[in-house]
């Protein structure tokens, strides 16, 4: 009589673990001893790798433009082994790729590559994010309340990334709307990479259906970081006041145009 399992799912989990071990093993004996058909394992492995490459090339288009096909294939293979998808939707897989790339040889050789991957992922997430539009009625709070009592809730698709590299220009060098923009962005990226690198903030936002990328001025970045951390409008303005190039009125008009703000709230 077979001993009962403490968990009815345990046989399935053991079989899945055995299948994964056979798929990733380079030892023919391990595959043979797994009980799975060798030819079937090889077919499954090829299909899995092809699906992984295809999914990553869609979610990380800039990274795959920057890499040779053999390098991107190798990264997809190694990333799939270290961080296999835990759900059926390939479009939701890849959040850890930027961190993974930073540990690879190509990531050491081209240190901006990991940040490009992080930007690609945020653009991908924004593309599939929820639709949010500005609650215009909340604008009245600016006239009714003191800035100390106002907080700003941003559109959920707005993300800020800190980087030392011109990843915004690298992004548009590959995904600009026309050849002129792509060439200008490529030239800007090449000049920036050839100069001493300074920290900058890149923003992902979605004004309508297609996400966009912008590199923020220092005052604007500091202002937005303060607001996104939950500080009041007054505190955020105080933090940005040291920058002579920052104007709240100008920022507000641009923020509404870009669909950055979801609503103003009284704190």
Residues 88 and 143 in one domain: no
**Structural domain ending residue among the three candidates 68, 103, 127:** 127
Average pLDDT over residues 16-43: 66
Angle at 256 between CA 241 and CA 129, to 5 degrees: 110
The number of domains in the chain is 2
Q: What is the mean pLDDT of residues 84-102?
A: 91
Those residues with Cβ within 8 angstroms of residue 265's Cβ, 6 or more apart along the chain or in another chain: 138, 141, 150, 151, 152, 153
More confident call, 243 vs 176: 176
3-state helix vs strand vs coil in the chain, percent to 5: 60, 10, 30
**pLDDT tens digits, one per residue of 110-137:** 999 999 999 999 999 999 999 999 999 9
pLDDT of residue 43: 82
In a shared domain, residues 85 and 63: yes
Reply yes or no on whether the pLDDT at 209 is more than 70: yes
Percentage of the chain with pLDDT > 70?
Answer: 86
Residues whose CB falls within 8 Å of the CB of residue 114, separated by 6 or more in sequence, listed in order: 98, 99, 101, 102, 107
With residue 244 as reference, give the H or E element that holds it: none
- What number is the average pLDDT over the span 74-102? 92
Structural domain range at position 205: 136-164+199-266
Predicted pLDDT of residue 27: 61
Evaluate whether residue 254 is within a structural domain. yes
Residues 222 and 105 both lie in one domain: no
51 and 120: one domain?
yes
Q: What is the residue-averaged pLDDT of the chain?
A: 89
Question: Stretch 245-261: mean pLDDT, rounded?
Answer: 95
Residues 220 and 252 in one domain: yes
């Amino acid at each position: 009589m077979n001993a009962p399992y403490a968990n009815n799912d345990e046989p399935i989990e053991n079989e899945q673990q055995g299948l994964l071990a056979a798929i990733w093993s380079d030892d023919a004996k391990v595959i043979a001893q797994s009980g799975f058909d060798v030819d079937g394992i090889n077919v499954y492995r090829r299909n899995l790798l092809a699906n992984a490459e295809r999914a990553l090339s869609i979610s990380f288009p800039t990274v795959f433009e920057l890499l040779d096909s053999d390098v991107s294939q190798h990264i997809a293979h190694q990333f799939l082994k270290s961080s296999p998808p835990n759900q059926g939707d390939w479009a939701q897989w890849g959040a850890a790729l930027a961190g993974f790339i930073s540990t690879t040889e190509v990531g050491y050789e081209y240190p901006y590559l990991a940040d490009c991957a992080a930007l690609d992922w945020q653009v991908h997430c924004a593309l599939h994010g929820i639709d949010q539009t500005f609650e215009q009625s909340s604008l009245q709070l600016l006239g009714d309340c003191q800035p100390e009592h106002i907080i700003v809730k941003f559109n959920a698709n707005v993300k800020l990334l800190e980087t030392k590299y011109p990843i915004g220009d690298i992004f548009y060098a590959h995904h600009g709307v026309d050849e002129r923009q792509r060439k200008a962005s490529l030239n800007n990226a090449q000049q920036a990479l050839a100069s001493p690198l300074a920290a900058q903030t890149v923003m992902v936002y979605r004004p309508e259906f297609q996400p966009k990328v912008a590199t923020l001025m220092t005052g604007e970045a500091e202002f937005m970081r303060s607001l996104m951390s939950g500080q009041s409008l007054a505190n955020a303005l105080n933090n940005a006041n040291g920058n002579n190039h920052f104007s709240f009125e100008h920022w507000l008009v641009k923020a509404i145009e870009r669909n950055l703000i979801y609503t103003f709230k009284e704190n």
